[in-house]
Structure 1
Amino acid sequence: MGEQGVSNLERRYRRLLRVLPKWYRQDREEEMVGLFMADRSDDLDLEHSWPGWGETGAMLGLAVRTHLAAGSGLTQAPAKVVWRGEVVRALGMLGLLLSVFYAGASLTSMFYAYNHPEIIGGLTWLRVFDVAPVVAFVALVNGRRTLAKLAALAAVLPAFVMIGQSGHFWTWLVYQLPALVTFLCLCLGFHREAPTPPARRLGWWALGALLLGLAGGLATGTGLLVIGLVTLIVRVVAFVRGDVVLGRALSLFALLQLAPLVFPLIGGEILIFVLPLAVLLLLTVVAPIRKPSARLS
């Protein structure tokens, strides 16, 4: 036993509970510690044991669900916690729609490569992973969250293989930030208590992104400019409607897209579409956000 009758095991459990938000621990910490310590009376056990891997994993999962609460899940969660979870989920969906756009552009590129192998070297098996975002989107709106997360991971794996083979690690990493952040947002935001995204409404956006990608694959930069313009327009609409969740998600979404543009701007490359796109995204990032209302819309 340690000082004041508190065992090392109890201290370790309380330290583990710190991954939970303070508002959640205030009401449930003592109850949870009591459940953990039930039937643990052996002095050797109390002195030298640690929380098990299963308990640690369950606690980390609970930490994600409480820090990024869903509106219909933890009813006692503070409003800012619910907003935070909604922003993460909205950012994940925006990133997934952008990935669907890139999947469309990749399909056009693969079709062209198949018909012109002498020009661009033909196809490689890694290009199959380019269409994984479409699988991830369809799976997510149908409630198949594990499949959606695996497909989103498959979309970024080839890029990281190429990163490891290149001599420009940080440059490649910046270019992969949107896809990587999308994957993380899907994993963290769409936990088991989070609502399933509305398939019908988002389906039209996904179809538009896919068609835009198919067309954009024929004219490099055109589709990206349209995406930047749409992002700015929706950002303005979100401000007018007072939709703080969508507004904040769009600002972060634009910032993720803006980061890779720094390199061509510095090098003076393809400024024909890079500079206008950077201006559109910068306007989206700095556009004002209304203060959230008392309840989440």
Structure 2
Amino acid sequence: MGGSGMRNLERRYRTLLKVLPRWYRRDREEEMVGIFLAERDDDLDLEHSWPGWGETGAVLALAVRTHLAAGAALTSVPSKVARRGEVVRALGMLGLLLGMFYAMNMVVTVVVGLGRPFQSPQPWWRVLELAPVVAFAALLIGWRTLAKVVAAVPLSLVVVSVTATGDPGYVLVWGVFQFPLLVTFVCLCLGFHREAPIPPARRLLWWGGGALLLGVVGGFSGGTGMQTIAVLTLVLRVAVFVRGDGVLGRALSLFALAQLVPLLFVVVPSHSYLMPVGVLAALLAVAAVAPVWRRPKAAPQMG
């Protein structure tokens, strides 16, 4: 269908369907447009109506599932699309692990602070900083929606409190330093929709335990959380390259790129390019652009 005989409503449906990937539209567009237009034969309706909110929401949800290649009904998915979905989900998991690191960091800081005389009591809402731990457990069980809601609670409260200050400069600084968490939270929401696969619990429990342990170490070291995460990202980036895990390697590359934002915010104004934080920023930049796959060795020439 198309050409000069296309009615306005059909044109609007086809425009809406452009949010779907080309490989999916190639097989399903005509069928979907036919379903949308079924029993809508009134001339006034065909000229002046628009896709409904429910239809728009369904198409947008389908766009997420198809662009990130997750869902039992999806077939003939291009390999690069499948990898994209896996990378986004890996980034979401890295964000939860980052949140668990800072959560345990907070616990150590509070416990140590309780032992100091004249230390002011911590506000009750700081317990919400443990939300990434709960979200991590919920996601491994398969409760995707609960995991995303729980992960959003502390982030939402902080956003509200920061914007309530009315100071654009403070909001900007906060956004810069929270940029890795914000990016990975978006990946968590997009990647783990209702048809996404459940992460392998047995393997990720080790990652979660490692994040908590590092959080304890970071809590006692004090003020080095950002540098600790940067160093760990670099070590893991090399390890997965040697192992040949291209998906996790790509996710770590993007994770390194996200960490560059707060690090450069520290390095550039102070011109501390040769200081440890400057060296870390340079190494993260290399990790962000370095290859994630090892090139296969060329086959020997037969003479």
**TM-score scaled by length of structure 1:** 0.89
Q: Are the aligned partners of 1:225 and 1:277 in contact in 2 as well (CA < 8 Å)?
A: yes
Of residues 248, 251, 270 in structure 2, which corresponds to 1:249? 251
1:66-121 CA-to-partner distances (Å, cap 9, x unmatched) read 000038652311111111111101111111111110010011122234444734x3
Q: Matches of 1:32 and 1:73 in 2, distance apart?
A: 15
The alpha-carbon deviation at position 223 of structure 1 amounts to: 5.2
Q: Matches of 1:117 and 1:139 in 2, distance apart?
A: 38
Q: Which residue of 2 aligns with 1:96?
A: 96
Q: Which residue of 1 aligns with 2:205?
A: 203
**TM-score scaled by length of structure 2:** 0.87
Q: Which residue of 1 aligns with 2:301?
A: none
1:142-189 CA-to-partner distances (Å, cap 9, x unmatched) read 100001101111131233124312442222111111111121111111
Q: Matches of 1:253 and 1:72 in 2, distance apart?
A: 28
**Closer/same/farther in 2, CA of residues 291 and 38 from structure 1, 3 Å limit:** farther
* Residue pairs, 1:14-25, within 5 angstroms: 14-25=14-25
Q: Are the aligned partners of 1:73 and 1:193 in contact in 2 as well (CA < 8 Å)?
A: no
Give unpaired runs (5+ residues) of structure 2. Answer: 297-303
**Closer/same/farther in 2, CA of residues 198 and 292 from structure 1, 3 Å limit:** farther
The reply to whether residue 46 of structure 1 matches residue 46 of structure 2 is yes
Q: Are the aligned partners of 2:8 and 2:46 in contact in 1 as well (CA < 8 Å)?
A: yes
The alpha-carbon deviation at position 284 of structure 1 amounts to: 2.5
Matched residue of 1:123: which SS? coil
**Closer/same/farther in 2, CA of residues 238 and 259 from structure 1, 3 Å limit:** same
* Residue pairs, 1:4-83, within 5 angstroms: 4-70=4-70, 74-83=74-83
Q: Matches of 1:190 and 1:292 in 2, distance apart?
A: 31
Give unpaired runs (5+ residues) of structure 1. Answer: none
Q: Matches of 1:289 and 1:261 in 2, distance apart?
A: 23
The alpha-carbon deviation at position 265 of structure 1 amounts to: 2.2
Q: Matches of 1:235 and 1:126 in 2, distance apart?
A: 35
Matched residue of 1:218: which SS? helix
The reply to whether residue 131 of structure 1 matches residue 130 of structure 2 is yes
Matched residue of 2:41: which SS? coil
Q: Matches of 1:277 and 1:98 in 2, distance apart?
A: 18
Q: Are the aligned partners of 1:87 and 1:248 in contact in 2 as well (CA < 8 Å)?
A: yes
The alpha-carbon deviation at position 209 of structure 1 amounts to: 0.7
Q: Are the aligned partners of 1:255 and 1:281 in contact in 2 as well (CA < 8 Å)?
A: yes
Q: Matches of 1:142 and 1:191 in 2, distance apart?
A: 14
The alpha-carbon deviation at position 212 of structure 1 amounts to: 1.3
Deviating more after overlay: 228-237 vs 273-282: 273-282
Q: Are the aligned partners of 1:110 and 1:127 in contact in 2 as well (CA < 8 Å)?
A: no
Matched residue of 2:220: which SS? coil
Q: Matches of 1:138 and 1:292 in 2, distance apart?
A: 37
